[in-house]
Structure 1
Amino acid sequence: MSAICVYCASGPVEQRFLDLAADLGAALATAGHTVVSGGGNISMMGALAESARAAGGTTVGIIPRALMEREVADLGADELVVTETMRERKRLMDDRADGFITLPGGIGTLEELFETWTAGYLGMHDKPVVLLDPFEFYAPLLGWLSDLRGQGFVSRNALDRLLVAESVPMAIRFATAR
């Protein structure tokens, strides 16, 4: 099976977002996929990893040394990789993943999404980049991106490279299709 990197919040969020992360982690594990994450054990990141392991899955956490205490490292990960920098963390997450799923999150999550999406669009990888958005959390962002397309700043090909899923099964199907 494949390894799916999941980007998501590591700070306080509503229960529905924690439940979404837990549902995704369990579904990925049940389908036999390894879950690659940012290596934290709190908030959505923690719910994702804990539910994946509870469902019998394998988790790989990749966390920079500077965030070990701040994000409370996922010491229960099957493999916990500690990096020296955020750039090294992201490179290893990219290298270890066969596909990417982005859940609701803040600026760190958005930065990871945009970097991965851009790299795919530029042909630096051919891995699926999925936005899992059952609550229309990203509706304003998607609307803005559509506006940017209308103004010529974002191409149709770039927008087509970002796969938007409304459910966990759909996101997994998109992230594992090659």
Structure 2
Amino acid sequence: MLTIHVAAAGRAVVVDGPRVVAVGPYEEIAAERPGARVRRWPGVITPGLVNAYGPELLEQAYHPDPRESDELGTEPITGAALDALEMTEARWGASARRGVQRMLAHGTVAAAGELHNRAVLDAVRRAGLTLAGRARRPDGVPALDPFASGGPVVWAPGLNPGMAARFAVFDVPDEAALAEHGAGTCVATVLAGRLVYRRR
């Protein structure tokens, strides 16, 4: 179904299935497609983010189940604390699913780095998150919010007709404010044309 995503700033992205078919001012886009479904968002629409720390966040960290929060807290567990946990393949898979959801909630559409754990790979593929290569582990601290890592912030390819519909919407007045407020301002993430995250 043809869908027009429009942000408060007025930029619109038209999606047909998994692809972007048009980008431009909402008034022009909507006039040419009167039958399209319209999704309205606050803030700005941008290409999605590439999180540079795929292995560190998904294979070297455990994302606790909310039911474990009393015992383990809510933040990813790494290092010696992770070594003390009994990590089965099923537990790795569940952790990766939660980790991927947390990435999507930060506007991430791709994770960089090579993954080896089959359960983690399955979780990533099922979610539709793209894997990107990297030459080495980047500087900075692994973080779900790429703006908080201290390393470079990398964007997925731009939004152009014919390209895969992979983008995010952030509740900030403009892209300059995004660096200041961070990816925690994400209100929606789209992968292959599917709305995979929406802030409640």
TM-score by length of 1: 0.29
Q: Which has the higher helix share?
A: 1
The structure number with the bigger radius of gyration is 2
Identify the structure with bigger relative contact order (alpha carbons < 8 Å, sequence gap 6+). 2
